[in-house]
């Protein structure tokens, strides 16, 4: 399996968890790191790793377009630890692991 290598990184990566249990991604983050609009979310210690999928055939979480700008969202509450507060979180792209890593 080859790693997915995105183009030049976005300066500041940020995601948002809502009180309703959604993950929000900006259009730029979604387009650059999740071009197929499908991802898997894994808890690794105190981090959530968001990893792009090549297509919907293998399952995963589907990113839906939220607005005309192209921002995306998906339901994520089943993966989040129960005590996760809503809000924005900084993230970084780990090219070695092919994951957007979000500190919780």
- The band of 59, judged by pLDDT with boundaries at 50, 70 and 90, is confident
Predicted confidence (pLDDT) at residue 62 exceeds the cutoff of 70: yes
**Measured CA angle at 66 (ends 48, 73), to 5 deg:** 15
For the stretch 30-54, pLDDT in tens is: 999 999 999 999 999 999 999 999 7
DSSP assignment string, 21-55: SEEEE-HHHHHHH-TTSEEEEEEETTEEEEEE-S-
What is residue 21's predicted lDDT score, i.e. its pLDDT? 95
Grade residue 77 by pLDDT with cuts at 50, 70 and 90. very high
């Amino acid at each position: 399996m080859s790693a997915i290598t995105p183009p030049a990184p976005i300066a500041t990566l940020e995601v948002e968890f809502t009180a309703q249990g959604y993950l929000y991604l900006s259009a730029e983050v979604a387009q650059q790191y999740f071009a197929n609009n499908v991802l898997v979310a894994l808890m690794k210690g105190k981090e959530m790793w968001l990893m792009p999928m090549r297509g919907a055939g293998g399952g995963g979480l589907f990113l839906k377009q939220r607005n005309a700008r192209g921002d995306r969202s998906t339901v994520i509450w089943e993966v989040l630890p129960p005590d996760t507060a809503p809000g924005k979180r900084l993230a970084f792209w780990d090219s070695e692991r092919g994951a957007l890593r979000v500190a919780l």
